[in-house]
Each structure stands twice: as C-alpha cells, then as structure tokens.
Amino acid sequence: MSVRRSTVLALATLTAAGVLTACGNPDVSTDVAASKDKKHTGVNTSPDQDRLRGEKVDAVAALVPEAIRERGTLRIGASADAVPPLGFYATDDRTRIGSEIDIATLVADTLGLKPEFEEVSWENLFVGLDSSKFDGVLSNVTVTEERKEKYDFATYRLDNIAFEAKKGSGWKVKGPADVAGKTISVSSGTNQEKILVEWSEENVKAGREPVDIKYFQKENDYYLPLQSGRIDAHLGPSPSAAYHVATSGQSEIAGQISGAGGGLQGKIAATTKKGSGLVEAYAAAIDHIVKDGSYGKVLKRWGLSGEAVEKSEINPPGLPRTKS
C-alpha cells in the first residue's frame, strides 16, 4: 500500500476511533479522509493544509542572534521517517504534514523567520546540529541528561511512550518484570531504547530473563513482525502507537510510561546546539503560542491535547544517564 493511501486510511480510522479531533476543510475536493461509515471526518491530508500561522512578535524576535535575524530563515531539522501524527506525508507523497511541522512553523513565525525544513535520518538530526547545519530540531526529541551536555532544550510537549502488542494478547506492562523474556523492538538511538536496555539489565540483576531487543531502521518496520509473532511488542512514541492501533485494528496498547522512565515525566523539546543563543528565543516563542491559543489548536488537531505543557522550560531534568 502506498504512503498516500495508507495515510488517508489511517487518519480516517483514527478519527473515527476518537484519537484525532476533526479539523481542516471538509470539502471532498481536498481528499479528506472518510471513516468506515463513509461520513467525512474533516481531517485534511492534502498538501493544502490551511496550516495555522502566527505573526512576528518583536520582543521575542529580538532574542534571536543577529546573524540569523539577518539571514531571515530558521533552518529546522526533522526526521525523514513517516510517523503520524507527528510527521508524515500528505496525499501527494511529497509534502510533510503533522504536529511537529505545525508547531515549528508557529515558532518560526513568532520569531519573524521563514521556516526551512530538511528531513534527514534520526542520527543525522544531531549531526546537523553539531555542524550548525540546523538552527534547531523539532522532531519528538526527548530531553536527556546526556544530550544536555551538547544541546540546549526548550520544552513544548510531554513525552510518553507505549508498548504496542498484538490485539488480544491480554498482556499488560507496568514495569521491568512484565517484559522479562519478551522479544521487544525499538528504534535505535532513542530514549525508549535506553529505557528498555535499563529494564533488561534490572531483570538480569533480579534473576529474571533479559529482554530480547530487536531493532528496526524505520518506525513502521515492526508492523509485520508484530502480527506474525516474531516480536511480542514494539516500544515507541505514544502518539504513533495510538495511531497505529486505531489504524490497523490488529494491535493494542499493553502499557504506557513516561518517556523519561520511572519517577520523572519526560518532555519533548526544541533542540539547538549548546551555546547557539537560540534556546531563550525558542522558549519565549513557545510561551507566546501557548498564550495566544494557536499551540492548543495544533495539539487538538492532531489528538495530542493530553501532552500539552503550560509553559516552556529551558533544560529541565531529563532522562537519567545509563548506570554503568
């Protein structure tokens, strides 16, 4: 199935299930997704998103380093993987849409800059920051103590992750003991991998079986292995897991935890190279869109209202370092 067809079907099913809130232009000419009962949901997956736009706020824009203000653009790195509802392709199989793109656009508007997006692999997001190719990354990046050594963060969303299992498994995950001896997949280099590795190590120390961890290059590569029984579950971002559960009708959420592990609420943040001078500008821009209501509208549009923050925090406590 093509990316376009799967996206339209997915959004239709997800909206019908109540995970997404209907929005956009309901006219059929925009290729709006329709639910199984053929009623129009109002979810627009066409390239013409009628995206919410903001206006420059001089006091916030003044926080941007002079060289970037003179350039007039904000170079934003984003993951190239299609992970609805965070970032995926519209019906033309070319235009990127999703919550992360919408929020990044509002931030750039508030800063008086034109957003320039570049989609790269996950690891190259950080390579791009290190080389100053990107001014920032807004792509579901969780604050971690290790990352804080090289990057500055301005939070804009809570971070939760979920175990997705085959439908009817009857399996519930609340802690490390529940995954002992299980085969679970994650995407490499993510905070969910870090948590799963720590849980596996905790199981071994407690005399239980370790977790058999499998890796897939792309976030949706686990779909077939999950249905065939080659893996017991996939641990990934809660928004995309909920999306796939509603889309496929073949899986279920076995458990949900904070993206920072036990005892700490994980947080997603605009990420910039440490010392770039941009983190204060990002935080102020995020605070502005929270106050003017545009931020809330974006989250509601994509079914993420439950992950809203009241204000942006700069470099808050993050996912702890792995114990050696």
Hey, what domains does the chain have and what are their CATH numbers? 56-157+265-312 (3.40.190.10), 159-256 (3.40.190.10)
d(CA 169, CA 124): 36
How much is the pLDDT for 246? 76
CA dist list (Å): 239 to 3, 128, 212, 300: 18, 25, 24, 12
Rg (CA), the chain: 20
Confidence label for 41 from pLDDT (cuts 50, 70 and 90): very low
* Residue 56, number of CB atoms within 10 A of its CB: 12
For 80-126, the DSSP string reads -S-BTTTBEE-TTSSSEESHHHHHHHHHHHHTT-EEEEEEE-HHHHH
- What helix, strand, coil percent values describe the chain, rounded to 5? 35, 25, 40
How much is the pLDDT for 322? 67
Which tens digits make up the pLDDT trace of 46-67?
898 889 999 999 999 999 999 9
How much is the pLDDT for 50? 86
Confidence label for 301 from pLDDT (cuts 50, 70 and 90): confident
Which tens digits make up the pLDDT trace of 119-130?
999 899 999 999
Helix axes 99-110, 294-301, angle to 10 degrees: 170
Mean pLDDT of 90-96: 92
Mean pLDDT of 192-210: 96
Mean pLDDT of 231-251: 88
How much is the pLDDT for 274? 97
Q: Tell me, what amino acid is at 182?
A: K
Residue 111 vs residue 37, higher pLDDT: 111
How much is the pLDDT for 43? 53
| Residues facing residue 266 across a β-bridge | 159
Could you tell me the pTM of the whole model? Answer: 0.76
Residue 257 vs residue 6, higher pLDDT: 257
| Residues facing residue 21 across a β-bridge | none
For 155-214, the DSSP string reads EEEEEEEEEEEETT-----SSGGGGTT-EEEE-TTSHHHHHHHHHHHHHHHTTPPPPEEE
How much is the pLDDT for 269? 98
Q: Which two tokens stand for residue 61?
A: 């824009």
Residue 9 has pLDDT above 60, yes or no: no
Mean pLDDT of 137-144: 94
* Contact status, residue 127 vs residue 65, Cβ threshold 8 Å: no
Residue 17 vs residue 207, higher pLDDT: 207
Mean pLDDT of 78-82: 88
